[in-house]
Copies of this chain bind each other. A is one copy, B any other.
Amino acid sequence: MKNADTFHIGDVAARTGLSLRTLRYWEEMGLVEPTGRTDGGFRLYAEVDIQRLLLVRALKPADFTLEELQEILRLRDLLARDDLDGATRAKSERELERFLERAADRCKILRERLVAAELAMSALRESLTPTAD
């Protein structure tokens, strides 16, 4: 039921660093569904599924909701097809661009907040030795 190119959920968790619960939840939300199942009901992930999972994992720090990530995957899948009419392709490209721009903005904001946090932390650290030195 399982050939050499498919993986059980435990293998996938080990390879991606995601929890079993996260893998099942992402499937439940329609984000990444395993290619197949064994007769007994075990999930079977193919290499392409794992690449999808790694993409989602990589994008998560940009503060997307799972719904937004799903939309990004949908657009990516759509654009990967070659039977797409020009108008649909152009529209999808613009939508994906918009997502990526918002994500870039949020990355910038997160970086600024990290700087502010580190500033606050060094201020705290310095208050440890207020008079002495």
Which of chain B's residues have a CB closer than 8 A to the CB of A61? 110, 113-114, 116-117
Closest residue of B by beta carbon distance from A112: B61
B-binding segment of A6-14, A22-30, A33-41, A122-130: A122-130
Chain A interface secondary structure, helix, strand, loop or mixed?
helix
Question: How many residues on the A side are at the interface (Cβ–Cβ under 8 A)?
Answer: 31
CB contact between A114 and one of B76, B110, B116, B120 (< 8 Å): that residue: B110
Cα(A29)–Cα(B55), bound, Å: 36
Task: Please indicate the chain B residues that have their CB under 8 angstroms from the CB of A116 in the complex.
Answer: 58, 61
Q: Which residues on B sit within 8 Å (CB–CB) of A113?
A: 61
- Whether A59 contacts B120 by the Cβ 8 Å rule is yes
Among candidates B62, B114, B117, B121, residue contacting A121 with C-beta atoms closer than 8 Å: B62
Determine if A100 is an interface residue (Cβ-Cβ < 8 Å). yes
